Structure 1
Amino acid sequence: MLHTAAMKLTSPFIENRKETLMDTNSHWIKLTNAQRFAFYTLAKLGYQLLFVRNANNCSTAVASQDNKLATIDDEGEINFNPSIILREQK
């Protein structure tokens, strides 16, 4: 009985984790090789990949850690002080 209760408590976490992993994977495949190598550096610092935007034949990866944002351009250059504003989630 206790085992079943524990499973019920953790199942929303497991579902959210699956959604996060699928979403991260969909963004990961959009990264250039240079962006992937640069992101490894950010990941070591605790950053998570939020999304990748493609515009004018250029891509920008956006990552966050707590309230800090960082961007990675096509060539793998990391900007720890980007001038972007994220929309609030509703």
Structure 2
Amino acid sequence: MQASALDSNYLTFEERRIAQANVEQHWDRLTTPQRFAFYTLAKLGYQLLFVRSSPHSRTAVAKQDDKLVTIDDEGDIDFNPDVVLRERRPPRH
């Protein structure tokens, strides 16, 4: 097991949020249909925020200004998703 994987077991919740995956890592988590759908959104100025995985599905979340969209694992885009993002809070000391 790599040292970075071991260290992540001892990070606080806030520290794990700070060490979020970068866009390239999120891109690797997209399904092929999600990649095609996001490519279309990127042309409109959307940025990929993250990919949320569950045992049965993956949902990509993208943002343009204050508008959020989701892309399901079949590549269907929801321009009015029921998603609430957490606020970014500074780490507790």
Structure 1: give runs of 5+ residues left out of the alignment: 1-21
Taking structure 1 as the reference length, what is the TM-score of the superposition?
Answer: 0.74
Q: Which amino acid aligns with 1:37?
A: F
The corresponding residue for 1:44 is 43
Q: Quote the Cα distance in structure 2 between the aligned partners of 1:73 and 1:56.
A: 14
Determine which structure has more spread, i.e. the larger CA radius of gyration: 1
The corresponding residue for 1:34 is 33
Structure number with higher relative contact order (C-alpha < 8 Å, ≥ 6 residues apart):
2
- What are the Cα deviations for residues 13-41 of structure 1, in whole angstroms up to 9, with x where unaligned? xxxxxxxxx70001000000000000011
Taking structure 2 as the reference length, what is the TM-score of the superposition?
Answer: 0.72
Q: Quote the Cα distance in structure 2 between the aligned partners of 1:84 and 1:71.
A: 8
Matched residue pairs, number? 69
- What are the Cα deviations for residues 32-61 of structure 1, in whole angstroms up to 9, with x where unaligned? 000000001100110000000011320000
- Aligned Cα root-mean-square deviation (Å): 1.0
Q: Which runs of 4+ in 1 moved over 6 A?
A: none
Q: Quote the Cα distance in structure 2 between the aligned partners of 1:57 and 1:30.
A: 14
The 5 A counterparts of 1:1-90 are 23-90=22-89
Structure 2: give runs of 5+ residues left out of the alignment: 1-20
Q: Quote the Cα distance in structure 2 between the aligned partners of 1:87 and 1:55.
A: 18
Q: Quote the Cα distance in structure 1 between the aligned partners of 2:55 and 2:24.
A: 23
